[in-house]
C-alpha cells in the first residue's frame, strides 16, 4: 500500500515499544516498577477534587457540544489572569489558544512558523522535536548537551547553529531530564536570540523560540522557573509558550493545554487547529476555567503534589547515590523539576548471565526489565546515542514503596553482570 513519504518515514516511539515489553512481562505475572511513562497513576495522584466536581457538574449541565475553536472565553480569561498572577506574564485572552493538551499546540507552532527545509534547533536529549520536524518537513538541528550542565543547553552550545535557523525549541523543566535552566543560563540564550535577530535583514524570517513550560509549576527545593519574556521583554514578539494543566494537576487525560504568544502567530495557530479540530472537551474547559481562579485550592493541591513527587524523586536519587557509594557504576542528577530523574547505569559492554553482551541502552533496558523488574527509558528514545548510558525515570505512576523495593533488585541484577 502506497502512503505519503511523510507517513512512510515516521519512526515509532521507543517509549511505546518499552511500554509494550513491560505490559507483556506484567501479563506473565511480573511485578515491575514501571518508571517509563510520563504520566500519573490516578489512584496515587488524583486530579484536584475541585476540578473533578467541576467536570461532573459541567457534563450534568449539558456542556457537551462544540466549544469555540480557540477555546472557551471564560477559560482564556482565567488562563490570562493565572499567568499574570503566578508568573507575571501579561497576555490578552485573545492571544491565548486552548487545545487538547500541549501536543497539538507544539505541532501548530511548528506548522505555523516552519516551511519545508527550515532549520529547527533543539537540545539532545529532548522530547519529540525530531518527530515534529519530520511532520512539517523541517530540517532538525539536534545539539548535544552534557551532564556537566545537567543536560540543559547553553548559549555556547547553541551559538554555532543559530545563523539561518527559524526555530529554537526549549523546555524547562526539561523532559526527559527533570533539570531546569538557571537564570543566567537562560538569559544568555535570550541574548543570543536577540543578537541574531538584530543581525538579520527585514526580509529574513526571524529566529523564533518555542518555550515549553508545561512542568513549570513543578519545581523542587531551591530550583526556580525562568522564562524568556520575563527575562528579556524585547523577545515578546518571538516567543511562543506551551503550557497547560496536564502535569501540574496530574490531569494528563483531561486534555486542557494552552499556548500563548505574539498575536499574529497565535491567530495562525488558531486557524491550523481549527481545521484539525484539536480542541479540548468543552466540559473540561468549563471546569478548568472555574478552578484556576480558586487560589487556595490550587495552592493546596500544588503543595501536596510537589511534596509527594519530590519524596519519590529523592528516594530514587538517594538510592542510586547509595549504590554508587558502594562502588556500583550508577549515578543520578539531582532532581529540580517535573516528574523525572536522570539516572546513569554505566554497564554497557558487560555480559548478561545468558551470554548477551549489553552493547546498547536498548539491550540494557530489556535486561533491567527482565532481571530487575525495573523499567526505565534510555536517552536514546530522546535522540541521544544508544551508547550513552543515561536514562529517564518517571515517578508519577509508582509509589515510593515500589521505587524503594526496586533498588535491591537493581543491585542484584548488576551483580549478575560479568
pLDDT tens-digit readout, 128-183: 999 999 999 999 999 999 999 999 999 999 999 999 999 999 999 999 999 999 99
- C-alpha to C-alpha distance for 358 and 97, rounded to whole angstroms: 46
Q: Quickly count helices (H) and strands (E) in the chain.
A: 14, 13
Residue 22 has what pLDDT? Answer: 86
**If pLDDT is split at 50, 70 and 90, which confidence band does 14 have?**
confident
pLDDT of residue 21: 82
**What is the structure's pLDDT at 273?**
97
Q: What is the pLDDT of residue 26?
A: 80
pLDDT one-digit tens code per residue, 199-212: 999 999 999 999 99
**Nearest one of 389, 392, 379, 393 to 125, comparing CA atoms:** 379
Residues with Cβ within 8 Å of 378's Cβ and at least 6 positions away in sequence, in order, are 14, 361, 362, 364, 365, 384, 386, 390, 391, 392
Residue scoring higher pLDDT (15 or 124):
124
Q: What is the CATH number of domain 63-294?
A: 3.40.640.10
Q: How confident is the model at residue 372 (pLDDT cuts 50, 70, 90)?
A: very high
Query: Residues 16-37: pLDDT tens digits?
Result: 888 888 888 888 888 999 999 8
Q: What's the pLDDT at 213?
A: 98
Of 42, 185, 201, nearest in space to 123 by CA: 185
In this predicted structure, what is the pLDDT of residue 30? 83
Model confidence at 376, pLDDT cuts 50, 70, 90, reads very high
pLDDT over 90 (residue 101)? yes
pLDDT at 16: 81
Give CA torsion, residues 117, 122, 128, 129, to 10 deg: -20
Residues 6+ apart with CB under 8 A from 339: 38, 40, 178, 215, 218, 247, 309, 313, 394, 395, 396
Question: Directed axis angle between helix 103-113 and helix 263-276, to 10°?
Answer: 120
| Residue 17: predicted pLDDT | 82
CA-wise closest residue to 218 among 170, 178, 258, 256: 178
Q: pLDDT of 235-292, one tens digit each?
A: 999 999 999 999 999 999 999 999 999 999 999 999 999 999 999 999 999 999 999 9
Determine whether 221 is exposed, middle or buried from the number of CB atoms within 10 Å of its CB (0-12, 13-18, 19+).
Answer: exposed
**DSSP character at residue 337:** B
What CATH code is assigned to 5-45+299-415?
Answer: 3.90.1150.10
Tell me the domain boundaries of the chain.
5-45+299-415, 63-294
- Range name among 25-29, 66-70, 80-84, 371-375 with the lowest pLDDT average: 25-29
Q: What is the pLDDT of residue 170?
A: 98
Q: What is the mean pLDDT of the chain?
A: 96
* DSSP-assigned states of every residue in 136-204: HT-EEEEEE--GGGTT---HHHHGGG-TT--EEEEESS-TTT-----HHHHHHHHHHHHHHHHHS-TTS
Mean pLDDT of 309-313: 98
Mean pLDDT to the nearest integer, 70-91: 98
Q: Is the pLDDT of residue 387 over 80?
A: yes
8 A C-beta contact, residue 218 and residue 303:
no
Residue 1 in this model has a pLDDT that exceeds 80: no
Can you say whether the dihedral through the CA atoms of 326, 330, 333, 337 is positive or negative? negative
pLDDT of 301 > 80? The answer is yes
Amino acid at each position: 500500500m502506497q502512503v505519503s513519504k511523510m507517513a512512510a518515514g515516521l519512526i515509532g516511539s521507543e517509549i511505546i515499544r518499552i511500554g509494550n515489553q513491560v505490559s507483556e512481562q506484567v501479563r506473565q505475572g511480573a511485578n515491575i516498577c514501571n518508571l517509563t511513562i510520563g504520566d500519573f497513576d490516578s489512584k496515587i495522584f488524583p486530579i484536584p477534587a475541585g476540578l473533578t466536581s467541576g467536570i461532573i457538574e459541567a457534563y450534568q449541565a449539558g456542556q457537551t457540544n462544540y466549544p469555540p475553536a480557540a477555546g472557551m472565553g471564560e477559560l482564556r480569561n482565567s488562563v490570562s489572569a493565572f499567568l499574570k498572577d503566578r508568573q507575571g506574564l501579561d497576555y490578552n485572552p485573545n492571544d491565548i489558544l486552548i487545545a487538547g493538551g500541549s501536543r497539538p499546540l507544539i505541532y501548530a507552532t511548528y506548522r505555523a512558523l516552519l516551511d519545508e527545509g527550515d532549520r529547527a534547533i533543539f537540545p539532545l536529549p529532548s522530547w519529540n522535536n525530531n518527530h515534529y520536524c519530520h511532520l512539517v518537513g523541517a530540517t532538525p538541528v539536534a545539539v548535544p548537551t552534557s551532564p556537566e550542565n545537567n543536560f540543559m543547553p547553553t548559549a555556547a552550545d547553541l551559538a554555532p547553529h543559530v545563523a539561518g535557523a527559524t526555530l529554537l525549541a526549549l523546555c524547562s523543566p526539561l523532559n526527559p531530564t527533570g533539570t531546569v535552566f538557571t537564570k543566567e543560563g537562560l538569559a544568555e540564550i535570550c541574548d543570543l536570540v536577540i543578537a541574531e535577530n538584530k543581525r538579520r535583514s527585514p526580509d529574513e524570517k526571524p529566529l523564533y523560540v518555542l518555550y515549553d513550560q508545561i512542568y513549570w509549576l513543578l519545581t523542587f527545593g531551591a530550583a526556580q522557573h525562568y522564562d524568556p519574556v520575563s527575562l528579556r521583554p524585547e523577545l515578546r514578539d518571538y516567543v511562543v509558550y506551551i503550557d497547560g494543566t496536564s502535569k501540574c494537576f496530574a490531569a494528563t487525560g483531561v486534555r486542557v493545554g494552552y499556548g500563548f504568544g505574539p498575536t499574529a502567530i497565535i491567530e495562525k495557530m488558531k486557524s491550523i487547529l481549527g481545521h484539525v479540530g484539536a480542541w479540548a472537551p468543552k466540559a473540561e474547559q468549563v471546569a478548568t476555567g472555574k478552578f484556576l481562579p480558586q487560589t487556595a485550592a490550587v495552592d493546596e493541591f500544588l503543595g501536596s503534589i510537589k511534596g509527594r513527587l519530590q519524596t519519590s524523586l529523592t528516594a530514587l536519587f538517594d538510592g542510586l547515590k547509595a549504590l554508587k557509594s558502594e562502588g556500583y557504576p550508577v549515578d543520578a542528577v539531582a532532581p529540580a523539576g517535573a516528574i523525572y530523574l536522570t539516572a546513569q547505569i554505566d554497564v554497557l559492554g558487560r555480559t548478561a548471565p545468558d551470554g548477551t553482551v549489553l552493547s546498547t541502552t536498548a539491550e540494557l533496558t530489556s535486561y533491567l526489565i527482565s532481571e530487575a523488574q525495573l523499567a526505565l527509558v534510555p536517552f536514546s528514545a530522546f535522540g541521544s546515542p544508544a551508547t550513552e548510558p543515561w536514562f529517564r525515570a518517571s515517578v508519577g505512576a509508582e509509589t515510593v514503596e515500589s521505587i524503594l523495593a526496586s533498588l535491591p533488585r537493581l543491585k542484584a541484577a548488576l551483580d549478575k553482570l560479568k
